[in-house]
Amino acid sequence: MAVEIIMPKLGMSMEEGTVVEWLKKKGDPVKKGESIVVISSDKIEKDIEAPQDGVLLEIIVQQDETAEVGKVIGYIGQEGEVLKEADHESVAISMKEEIEAISETMLRVSPAARKLAHEAGIDLRRVSGSGPKGRITRADVEKAIQTRQASSQLESEEQRFTQINKEAINTSESINLKKKMSGQISEMAIEQKDVTVKPITGMRKVIATRMFASLHQTAQLTIHMKADITKLMEVNENIKNELRDESTIKFTITDFIARAVILSLRTHKQMNSLYQDGRIYTYDSVHLGIAVAVENGLVVPVIRYAEKLSLKEISQKIKELSTRAREGALSSEEMTGSTFTITSLGAYGVEFFTPVLNPPEVGILGVGTAEDVPVLVGDIVEKRKKLPLSLTFDHQVIDGAPASQFLGMVKHYLENPYQLFYS
């Protein structure tokens, strides 16, 4: 009997998912527990395993297509098995649009290309296929979108020129303007030939939406300080030398920064807040988000109740969550509920930058790359290691003075590293 492959619910807020890739083709044998399809929600990608041995009888939801949570995206059964009438009806409904398009146009079109063309309003009869036997691929549709956009922009420029020219007609300004605009239009036509157009989808689309909303719904201000971590580096080196056999204890700068932030948030609770629905929610417990760069964007796994953890436990938690984030193994719940976030560009040689708030949080700390700088200590010039810190906060909730006090306390803990162990 055929078994349904269902679009799973990866998180409480997930309503639909996208099929990223089918790892098996229709008719391929599968083993129970074997990954057969990759799906994604707003925040995570996950492999879906076969619920039983058999063959992949039917694919209902094609690559790049979406389906509501709980909907059938495919069937697994035994070789030679025929789907029941109800199953066939489901398949027929899901494939109706594709079958009608093929009947009407007699074109060879990939499902991803057909979906993109439908969303963009592209007439497939006007698209030349570059695939085998003239099959229209997603790249062909993207090129058609690019061409249409170029034509639209040229038309807009021409219309703008016409309007301006009418207003300045019979003047020398009109003549000069015409030459200038004509040059711009010609230049634009040349530049558009080298443009690749790619729709924003999946995680990238979610990030774009959230960042746009963050900048338009909050009053963001960023302040900067440098912490002298010379002593911190010495302490960490001593720990490595003295605990060389303890392979599980290897602290990183991020571990110390996280601990310093947690201790500072316990004192400056206003920074450990969320702002939503016109209300400020201030938390006693610290749920610390650590931004991790992944292949498709950025995720923020959360260390819950971080104030209860020792430096060693924080270090272990950061390593565990970061590894699982890069493997795409985090659940949606592990990436929600943070009250403050740390993000770092130090590995890329960036000094100061302006981190964007992770709404509805009211604070985020950006960490730059530590550099050796000459510092005058009395009459002697010494080499000291300075760490750039950039704090972005929502000025709707927090003023500059308390935000500066919070950042100053983070700096204090980093410059007095022994307090990170015993506070």
Catalytic residue, chosen from 28, 53, 372, 399, is 399
pLDDT exceeds 70 at position 288 = yes
| Section 391-406 average pLDDT | 96
Paired tokens of 19: 């099929």
Instruction: Report in angstroms the alpha-carbon separations of 135 from 49, 59, 132, 406.
Output: 31, 20, 6, 60
d(CA 134, CA 112): 16
Q: How confident is the model at residue 101 (pLDDT cuts 50, 70, 90)?
A: very low
Convert the chain into a string of H (helix), E (strand) and C (coil): CCEEEECCCCCCCCCEEEEEEECCCCCCEECCCCEEEEEECCCCEEEEECCCCEEEEEECCCCCCEEECCCEEEEEECCCCCCCHHHHHHHHHHHHHHHHHHHHHCCCECHHHHHHHHHHCCCHHHCCCCCHHHCECHHHHHHHHHHHHHHHHHHHHHHHHHHHHHHCCCCHHHHHHHHHHHHHHHHHHHHHCCCCCCCCCHHHHHHHHHHHHHHHHCCEEEEEEEEECHHHHHHHHHHHHHCCCCCCCCCCHHHHHHHHHHHHHHHCHHHCEEEECCEEEECCCCCEEECEEECCEEECCEECCHHHCCHHHHHHHHHHHHHHHHCCCCCHHHHCCCCEEEEECHHHCCCCCCCCCCCCECEEEEECCCEEEEEEECCEEEEEEEEEEEEEEECCCCCHHHHHHHHHHHHHHHHCCCHHHHC
Q: Is 395 a catalytic residue?
A: yes
Report the pLDDT value the prediction gives residue 270, as an integer from 0 to 100: 95
Indicate the average pLDDT of the chain: 82
Residue 137: what residue type? T
Report the pLDDT value the prediction gives residue 386, as an integer from 0 to 100: 96
Lowest mean pLDDT among 142-146, 150-154, 203-207, 220-224: 150-154
Paired tokens of 351: 């000094």
CA Rg value for the chain:
28
- For 305-336, the pLDDT digits (tens) are 999 999 999 999 999 999 998 888 888 788 88
% of residues, the chain, pLDDT over 90: 43
- For 194-241, the pLDDT digits (tens) are 677 777 766 677 777 778 888 888 899 999 999 999 999 999 999 888
Q: Is 118 a catalytic residue?
A: no
Which tops the pLDDT comparison, 214 or 366? 366
Q: How confident is the model at residue 151 (pLDDT cuts 50, 70, 90)?
A: low
Most confident of 22-26, 150-154, 224-228, 372-376: 224-228
Report the pLDDT value the prediction gives residue 306, as an integer from 0 to 100: 96
Beta-ladder partners of 371: 386
Is residue 22 a contact partner of residue 58, using CB atoms and an 8 Å limit? no
| Section 291-299 average pLDDT | 85
Catalytic residue, chosen from 194, 228, 395, 412, is 395
pLDDT exceeds 50 at position 293 = yes
Closest by Cα among 316, 308, 257, 268 to 287 = 308
Closest by Cα among 289, 204, 252 to 387 = 252
d(CA 169, CA 163): 10
Beta-ladder partners of 298: 293
Lowest mean pLDDT among 134-143, 155-164, 192-201: 155-164
Report the pLDDT value the prediction gives residue 79, as an integer from 0 to 100: 85
d(CA 306, CA 309): 5
Lowest mean pLDDT among 8-22, 158-172, 276-290, 408-422: 158-172
pLDDT exceeds 80 at position 47 = yes
Q: How confident is the model at residue 138 (pLDDT cuts 50, 70, 90)?
A: confident
pLDDT exceeds 50 at position 100 = no
Report the pLDDT value the prediction gives residue 41, as an integer from 0 to 100: 76
Burial letters for 300-312: b for 16+ Cβ neighbours within 10 Å, e otherwise?
bbbbbebbebebe
Report the pLDDT value the prediction gives residue 105, as an integer from 0 to 100: 46
